[in-house]
Homo-oligomer: A and B are copies of this chain.
Amino acid sequence: MPSPIHFYLDVSSPYGYFGAMLIEPLAAKHGRSVEWHPILLGAMFKSTGNQSLIQQPLKGPYSLHDFARSARFHGIPFNIPPVFPISGVAVGRAFLVLQEVSPTAAVAFLKDALTAFFVEGIDVSDANKAVTLAAQHGHAFGLSAAQIGDAMSTPAIKDALKAEVDGALAKGVFGSPFMIVDDEPFWGVDRLPQLDRWLTARF
């Protein structure tokens, strides 16, 4: 069984969202699974010295333009959310709660949360909104909204999200999306063509 593609994304990252919509067909083409990792770029910027794209002179206005053009290029629905960027803590914790009962449900929730944020403009950093979305996927596994909300506040889940962030940094992850497969690192949705060729030809 070949090892999975490790896919790291910050919920507030437009390029991470595009990558999330594109990674599964690419992985399937090569007989690989995807292992999803919610990360928090804001927390990681303390280690890397980076800052949010849109807060940077010149790069900020360009990025807003490029987000929208890249969405059209990839054929993915996209609107700049009215509140942006946001914290990915609530979605990250809800993802980890769901992951304990069903990794599939957790990924479905994560993609729902990305769509809610980047298409409908819903501020999913609001824990109540994240919980409501997560409950739609937890219901089939006997998890109510209240149970998900409670679990998100436990030290175990808080620590699990911190561990994802620290684990990502330890692997050299510094941006979103970031893909690692067989120890080969790829940063950015614009590296999917190189990832595709790597999985074919180890070029």
Q: Which residues of A contact B (CB under 8 A)?
A: 47-50, 56-59, 61-62, 65-66, 69-70, 72-73, 169, 172-175, 185, 187-188, 190-191, 193-194, 197, 203
CB-defined A-B contacts under 8 Å, sample of 16: A47-B58, A48-B56, A49-B56, A57-B174, A58-B173, A58-B174, A61-B172, A62-B172, A62-B187, A66-B191, A69-B194, A69-B203, A70-B194, A73-B203, A190-B190, A190-B191
Q: Can you name the residue of chain B whose Cβ is closest to the Cβ of A59?
A: B174
Majority-rule SS of A interface residues: helix
Q: Answer whether A194 and B56 are a contact pair too, CB < 8 Å, given A62-B185, A187-B62.
A: no
The answer to whether B172 and A58 have CB atoms under 8 Å apart is: yes
For the complex formed, measure the closest distance between the CB of A168 and the CB atoms of chain B, giving whole angstroms: 10
Q: Can you name the residue of chain B whose Cβ is closest to the Cβ of A174?
A: B58
Assembly CA distance A173 to B59 (angstroms): 8
Assembly CA distance A193 to B65 (angstroms): 16
Of B65, B70, B172, B174, the residue contacting A185 (CB under 8 A) is B65
Q: Can you name the residue of chain B whose Cβ is closest to the Cβ of A194?
A: B73
For the complex formed, measure the closest distance between the CB of A126 and the CB atoms of chain B, giving whole angstroms: 30
List of B residues within 8 angstroms of A56 by Cβ: 48-50, 174
For the complex formed, measure the closest distance between the CB of A85 and the CB atoms of chain B, giving whole angstroms: 18
The answer to whether B187 and A188 have CB atoms under 8 Å apart is: no
Q: Can you name the residue of chain B whose Cβ is closest to the Cβ of A189?
A: B190
Assembly CA distance A74 to B154 (angstroms): 49
Assembly CA distance A56 to B70 (angstroms): 26
Assembly CA distance A174 to B58 (angstroms): 6
Q: Can you name the residue of chain B whose Cβ is closest to the Cβ of A47?
A: B57
List of B residues within 8 angstroms of A62 by Cβ: 172, 174, 185, 187
